Amino acid sequence: MNKLNICIAGIGNVGSELIKSIEENKSYYEKKSSFQFNIIGVSAKNKNKNRNVDIKKYRWFDDPIEMSKLNDCNVIVELIGQEKGISYDLIESALNNKKHVVTGNKALIANYGKELFKLAEKNSLALSFEAAVAGGIPIIKTIKNNINLNKISKISGILNGTTNYILSKMEEDNLSFDEVLEIAKEKGFTSDHESKLDIGGYDAAHKLTILSTLGFGSVLNFNNNFIDGISNVKIEDINFAKQLGYRIKLISETSIVNEKIFNFTSPKLIDYSNPLANVGDALNAINIETDHLDNLFLEGQGAGGKPTASSVLSDLYDISQNITFDNLGFKVNDLKEFNKISSDNIVNRYYVRIMTEDKPGVLSSITNLFSDTGISVEKILQLPENVKLDKPIPIIITTHKIQKEILTNVINKLEKLKFVKEKITLLPIHDN
C-alpha cells in the first residue's frame, strides 16, 4: 500500500478533528485513495495539554519546523493559524524542503501568500488551502478546478459564520448587537481576539482576497479591500429593513470594474428574494456569476473543526492522487496587479435612518436637501404609529444609486441641523 506521510502542526479545533477522522476512517480512506494516510509527526504549543485525541502514539515535535526537515514526510499540514510568525516560517521551510503543504490559514495567505505561492510553483509543490475559505464548502476547487474555463464576472457571499450568526440571532430574538455578541462568545463561536477579526469584517475580507485572486487572477493583495464591520448595526435597522423587504447581512463581493479591482465587505440590506438573504445561523454561502452560469450558489458550514477538516482531507486526497492544478488557478507570473477601484466609482443604493424631532416641515427639508444634491429618493418609510412624545422619531429613506461621497456630504449637512437628533445611519443596499 502506498503511504502519504503527513505531519500536522496545530492540534486545535481543526487539527484534532483531522486526526480523529484519519484514525476512525483508515480503511475507508485506503479503499478510496489506495493510499494509507499515515501521520508521522505532530506539533502544538503545549505537549501536555488535555486533548480529545490521544497524541501519545505519534512522534512529538516541540518545534514544528523540524517536521518539515524529515526525509520521509510528504505533506505538512499547517493548522496553527498565526498570521505570519511560526506559520509562515513552517510553510516556507516545508516548501524549501520539497514538502507539499495544506493550510487553513486565510489571514496568512491573504497578507503574505504571494512569495509562498512563488516558492511552491518553483518547486512544483502543492500549497493547498481549501480550508481557508468558507470552512467545509468546497469553494476553492469549484472555482479553480471545476469552472476554471468559465469567465467569472462576480463573486459575492457571506464568508464569516460568526457575524452571520450574530445578525441572524439579532433578527430572530429582537436582541441588540452587544447581547448577541455575548451569546456568541459563550457558545464558543468567537473569542475576544477572533471577534475583532470577525466583527470588524477582516476575516471575511481575508477570504475575499483569496477569492478575487482565484476568480480574476489578481495578485494577492489584502490592501485592495474596502472593509466595514457589523458593530454599528442596530436592531432597529434590522427591523426597519424587514419592513422594507430586506435582511441585513455582512456581504463580501469581488469583481473587476473598468480594469480596477472592487473588493467590498460591508453590512448590506439584501432583498428577501436573494438566496444570500436566507442564509441563517452560522452558515456561509457564496454566489458565483460567470459567462456560463447566471448563479452558482453554494451554502454550508463555513467553520467548525469537523467541516473544516473535511476540506483539509480533500486537499490531502488530491496530493495523494497527484492531482495537480496551479495552486491559485493561474501561473504565479500570470497574476495581474490590479489597482483598487476608487471610492468615487462605487455606487450603491442606500438605506438612510435619520432620527428627528417630530415637527412639521422636517420631512420636506430633508427631501429638498436630497433633491437639491441630485440624490433620487426611492422610498420613504412611513413613520411608526404610537410614537412617544418628546422622543426623536425615525425617518427611513432609501435612495436610488448614488456615489457614497455625494450622500455623505448631504448627511454631514443634515447632522448639523437642529432637528436631527442622532448620528445618521447609512447602509448600502445589495443589487439583486
Ligand X SMILES: NC(=O)c1ccc[n+]([C@@H]2O[C@H](COP(=O)([O-])OP(=O)(O)OC[C@H]3O[C@@H](n4cnc5c(N)ncnc54)[C@H](OP(=O)(O)O)[C@@H]3O)[C@@H](O)[C@H]2O)c1
Write out the residues near ligand X by the rule CB under 6 A.
9-15, 43-46, 49, 64, 79-81, 86, 104-106, 131, 135, 303-305, 308
99, 144, 207, 249: which is the annotated catalytic residue? Answer: 207
Q: Give min distance, CB of 137 to ligand X, in A.
A: 10
Assess whether 401 carries a catalytic annotation. Answer: no
Secondary structure of the chain in the HEC alphabet?
CEEEEEEEECCCHHHHHHHHHHHHCHHHHHHHHCEEEEEEEEECCCCCCCCCCCCCCCCECCCHHHHCCCCCCCEEEECCCCCCHHHHHHHHHHHHCCCEEEECCHHHHHHHHHHHHHHHHHCCCCEECHHHCCCCCCHHHHHHHHCCCCCEEEEEEECCHHHHHHHHHHHHHCCCHHHHHHHHHHCCCCCHHHHHHHHCCHHHHHHHHHHHHHHHCECCCHHHEEECCCCCCCHHHHHHHHHCCEEEEEEEEEEEECCEEEEEEEEEEEECCCHHHHCCCCEEEEEEEECCCCCEEEEEECCCHHHHHHHHHHHHHHHHCCCCCCCCCCCHHHCECCEECCHHHCEEEEEEEEEECCCCCHHHHHHHHHHHCCCCEEEEECCCCCCCCCCCEEEEEEECCEEHHHHHHHHHHHHCCCCECCCCEEEEECCC
If the CB atoms of residues 135 and 267 are measured against ligand X, the closer one turns out to be 135
Nearest distance in Å: CB 108, ligand X: 7
Q: How near is the Cβ of 322 to ligand X at its closest, in Å?
A: 25
As annotated, the active-site residues are 207
